[in-house]
Amino acid sequence: MTRAPRRSESAAPRRRAPRSAALAAFVLALAAAACAARKPAEPQPGIPPELAAATFDTAWAVIHRTHFDTTFNGVDWLALRDELRPRAAAARTQDELRAVIREMLGRLRQSHFNLLTAESAAEREASAGAEGEAAGDVGLELRLVGDDVVVFRVDEGSPAAAAGIRPGWVVRAVDDLDVASVVRRQRERERTQNADSRSVERQVVGRVSAGLLGEPGTTCRISLEDGDGRPVQFELRRRPWPGLPVTLGNLPTFLGRVTAAPAHNGDGLRVGVIRFNVWMAPLAREIDEAVDRFRDADGIILDLRGNPGGLAAMVNGVAGHFLNEPALLGVQHSRGLELRFQANPRRVNSRGERVEPFAGPLAILVDGLSGSATEVFTGGLQSIGRARVFGQTTAGGVLPALTHTLPNGDVLMHAIGEFVTAKGERLEGRGVIPDEAVTLTRADLLAGRDAALLAALRWIGAVRAGDR
Amino acid sequence: MTRSTKNRAAATSRRLALFLAVFAAAPRAASAQLPPAERILARYIDALGGEAALRKHSFRYQKSTISMPAQGMSMTMETHAAPPDLYVSSMEMAGMGTVRSGYDGKVAWSIHPATGPMLLQGPAFEQLRQQVNFYDPLDRDRYIKAMETLERTDFQGRSCYKVKVVANWGEEYFEYYDAETGLLAGIERKMETPMGPLPTTTIIEEYRDIGGMKLATKMRILAMGMEQIVTVDSASVEKFDMSVFELPAEIKALLK
């Protein structure tokens, strides 16, 4: 930013820590759960008993110290330590230890309590020097419809598009991964562990999608059922990820991407559709530019379907593009602390020029894979009446979280707060309920219809007709 | 700089006298055995090198590293500062981008990639102005209404005097002064953020002798269950171009 002086051997005293350091802590505190899909971990070698015990103790103590609810969601946290610690200390492998820690986290039955393995962190570090080259995909986005994993979107110009794969086709296998067996396992979990159906979709889609990712230039074999029920198979060569891989601290790499395109509803209105798949600060500039592009449009649709969250501090910044006055979107309740999601109007554009925030109709598209920061944003704007929400109920995982590196190198993600909207609604476990529920069907996908997008366009048309 | 060093010293003496008078007016019986806050402050100034040494320079540039080991994060930050409270900082962080903030004597601002450009107002504005006071801990009466020694206590394993500080805008917070060295050992304070006040503990772990003065070169900051370690890697008092303090275009646009 600025030129440094030449000589640097003397200094005047400063007695306070730099202010921005404290602010940085604040911002990073809000990193929530949203990770790029990862490969399954390899079996791990042994672990010394002392390290196993220390790792368990650290994970337990971090949650004991920081959980926002001192009742631990009804779990006797002290008794749970006494119950599980002997098993952790007796673990012979990393995988055995992780199973115990994951059981401890699972007892809380709350989102944003996860264990990320040291191996995934090592993969990230290994690829950090060549991020743009390390991530590749085939251009497919998947969803679970009934018990079928279907193609939801095919990216224009992608290997999948070039092969002729169409929305609505059913994915049967990716390389040696049998999709039906993945679905069966998760449905069994749904039955036996009372798992949420949105969690089932997240697990299934995450697992199958992970098989499609890999180094650019490598190939994957995908078996599908086309629109006429015929089995088809393709060997797809992965392209470099068309967006921006983002690495933040000890979280896995996020594959971020922003797209913006005009949409027309048939009555001459111009509507901007802005889509971004994760909340990460390096994408903020592109989001700002996308808003600038449609600042004079008749309406804006934010397509946040499949966006699992990310840096919750971005929520206020993006919301400010659509507010003409400061607005409270909601409050994060942490132990002894209350943080306000206060959005301020964004009156400067990406070129540094004075502008007015977008005041036209704002629609937000969501689905069961929209989680965390996406829910804070959507639920917040919905609660103050600034946006109308279309699609399916969101994931219901809305607990702001931190990460903590454990003694064995694994990373503990742990929730430190609970988000409540401006209207006092708790979204954890419930999710954001759309104003207009739009069910995703295979028939619509095969017909090339995006029903949620069409509903949003109709609404914007009606609002503008009312204006006239 | 519009005042000579002599004039600055005289002005400081007047302010210090006023400062001491304020404290003298509110003695506490329970504090009879404790040194008064003004004595603790004077000892701190001496421990740093004395007022003349503190006022010797008019430019400061620092380059620091900020790490958050548990979160696997690391940042670099450079700051430029000049009297009386001109300040600009730029922090680079992988996965986040560049976070900038500053104060040009009138406008306190920040530009964060996640939230865009902002003007700081209210308590956040006051705190920033205080924190970037170039000659701190001198000239304290510009920001501080009162100080009171509360007790001698343990702070992070060090025997310290705990001092309550009341800012001109009504905020109360606590400073801890090492009973042995006289140096500031830490601060407990609610830092104003765009999302509200955030309880923060700053622990000063290391001072280094540089140019006849002591510089706090290593700090730990605890907030929201996280720990940040700030290490000053290099510092300079060489003259630099004052244009660094000019408001960025985005901030100028906000002021229109």
Q: Does B64 touch chain A (CB under 8 A)?
A: yes
Task: State yes or no: pLDDT of B27 exceeds 90.
Answer: no
pLDDT of residue A305: 98
The chain A residue lying nearest B253, using CA atoms, is A354
pLDDT of residue A121: 60
Domain boundaries, chain B: 5-255
Residues of chain A with pLDDT under 50: 1-41, 127-133
Q: Are A11 and B199 a contacting pair at CB < 8 A?
A: no
pLDDT of residue A85: 97
d(CA A246, CA A334): 27
Cβ-based contacts of A65 with chain B (< 8 Å)? 225
* Orientation of helix B5-24 relative to helix B37-48, angle to 10°: 150
Among B residues 7-36, those touching chain A with beta carbons less than 8 Å apart? none
Among B residues 139-198, those touching chain A with beta carbons less than 8 Å apart? 184, 187, 191, 193-196, 198
d(CA A361, CA A300): 7
Cβ-based contacts of A66 with chain B (< 8 Å)? 225
List the CATH code of the domain at A136-240: 2.30.42.10
* CATH classification (class only), A26-130+243-468: alpha beta
When the candidates are 2.20.25.90, 2.50.20.10, 2.60.120.260, 3.40.50.300, the CATH number that belongs to B5-255 is: 2.50.20.10
Task: Give A205 to chain B, closest Cα distance, Å.
Answer: 26
Q: Which two tokens stand for residue A260?
A: 């913006």
Task: Work out how many CB contacts closer than 8 A connect A with B.
Answer: 274
pLDDT of residue A120: 67
Question: Pick from B161, B213, B170, B214: which is nearest to B190 by CA?
Answer: B170
pLDDT of residue B18: 35
Are the CB atoms for A100 and A56 separated by under 8 Å?
yes
The whole-model pTM stands at 0.86
Domain boundaries, chain A: 26-130+243-468, 136-240
Q: What long-range pairs does A99-105 form, CB within 8 A, spacing at least 24?
A: A100/A56, A101/A55, A101/A56, A101/A59, A101/A410, A101/A412, A104/A56, A104/A59, A104/A60, A104/A80, A105/A59
pLDDT of residue B26: 39
Tell me if domain A26-130+243-468 and domain A136-240 are identical in fold.
Answer: no
Are the CB atoms for A388 and A458 separated by under 8 Å?
no
Q: Does B205 touch chain A (CB under 8 A)?
A: no
Q: CA angle A395-A292-B194, nearest 5°?
A: 60
ipTM at complex level: 0.82
pLDDT of residue A249: 86
pLDDT of residue B25: 37
